[in-house]
Structures are given as C-alpha cells and as structure tokens.
Amino acid sequence: MTEQGGSRRLRVLVANQRPERLVMLAAVIERLGHEVVAQEVVVAEVGADTARVRPDVALVGLGADPAHAHDLISAIVREGFCPVIALIPDYDASWIEEAARRGIFAYIVDARPEEIQSAIDITLGRFVEHARLRGAFELRDLALNEQLELLRARQRLLVEVQDGILQQLTTVSLGLRLGQVDEPLAATERAIEQAKSIVTQTIEELLLSGAGLDDILHHAVSET
C-alpha cells in the first residue's frame, strides 16, 4: 500500500469465475487509482497466488456457480492476511451467510465504482481494528500461558523441596529409633535449610507481586 496524491494506492487481488467480468472489475479498480496485482479464476491457483503477491485487499465476484465463489474466498482467506470483499449481483442471504463463515469482511450488491471505493475504505478500517484486537488477544493468551507455565514450574520446585524435607525427617526418625545422634542432627539441619528456602522464595515472590512486607508478616502471624 502506497500513498499517491494524498490517497492510498492499494494492491488489489480480484477473483471471479467469469473471465470477462474479471477484466471489467480489474479495469474499474485501476480507474480508482489502485494496482491490480492478480486476476484469479481457478480455485486451485488462487491460494498460492495470494500468498505470493500479498494483496492489501481482495475482491471476489459471484459468478455462475455460488460454490466456486465460496471456494475462492476460502482459499484467499487461508493463504493471505487481507480483508476480502464479495461483489454480488443480487442480495442472497444464504450465500452471504456462508461467505461470512468463510471469512469475508463485507459485501456489495450491484456495485458502482464509488461504492467499491467506499466499501474498500470501510473494510480496511474494520480490518485494521480486527487485527489490533486479535493481536491484543494473542498477547493476552501468551501472557496467561507464560504465567501458567511459571506457576507449574514453581509447583514442581516446591514439591521437590517438600519431598526432600520429608526424606530428611524420615532419616531423623529412623536414626533416633536406632539410637543414632549425628546423622539425625545433620538430617534435621538439611530439612531446616530446605524449609527456609521455601519461605524465602515465597516471600520474594510475594514482594515481586507487589505485596508489602508488613502485610506478609501480618498474614503469617494471623495464620499461626
């Protein structure tokens, strides 16, 4: 997309089952000041061409076969990141509903050149907002996934430390039963150190999350 004479010059892909209408549509788009980067008829080819030319917007005309136009829309949406506008000769609710499921952003009935330009402008605005929202949702999901993975990692660490403490206390219990002193004392010291590491790590995480030290100590005393 480039600026030309104060207006945006768009790279447009046009598709239609009928070649003669495709030529007419391409001529209209060029008269509007845009560049037609691809003219597509065959469904099997439109996806690869969309990925290759990367249009700013795609216009798909409804030809003799409604399913053919639907398949053109699906292929473009699957391979390109651009809004798709459907051009239809008459209003057809069921066709429009299916086209919407396949990813069109707008449709025009029996369009004149000025209506096409207006639809392009409106659709691009909607598409930019959609992309912005989608990016926000993706960032949110990424942050949530990172937080979940961090929580799982912390849980695994705490389980490992707790298991270590239990093992040391078991050693203490067995040693005392056997009348030993040195090994139970050493195991007790190890258990205390591991318990201290859990407490220290928990306090550090609470402080990083924004909790105050006074609040942490208050809750600790309240729960004991």
For residue 215 the two structure tokens come to: 């609040």
Q: What is the CATH number of domain 2-111?
A: 3.40.50.2300
* Per-residue pLDDT at 147: 60
> What average pLDDT does this structure show over 113-124?
79
- Given pLDDT bands bounded at 50, 70 and 90, which one contains residue 94? very high
For residue 213 the two structure tokens come to: 């030290």
Nearest CA to 127 among 27, 33, 30, 55? 55
Are 25 and 1 in contact, with CB atoms under 8 Å apart? Answer: no
More confident residue, 72 or 193: 72
Asked if pLDDT for residue 48 goes beyond 70, the answer is yes
* Per-residue pLDDT at 73: 93
Q: How many CB atoms lie within 10 A of CB 24?
A: 14
Are 80 and 51 in contact, with CB atoms under 8 Å apart? Answer: yes
**pTM, full prediction:** 0.55
Give residue-wise pLDDT tens across range 1-29: 555 444 578 889 999 988 888 898 899 99
Give residue-wise pLDDT tens across range 126-173: 776 655 655 444 555 555 566 666 566 566 656 665 666 667 666 666
* Per-residue pLDDT at 4: 47
Asked if pLDDT for residue 201 goes beyond 70, the answer is no
End-to-end CA distance of the chain, in Å?
66
Q: What percent of the chain has pLDDT over 90?
A: 19
Asked if pLDDT for residue 52 goes beyond 70, the answer is yes
Mean pLDDT of the chain: 75
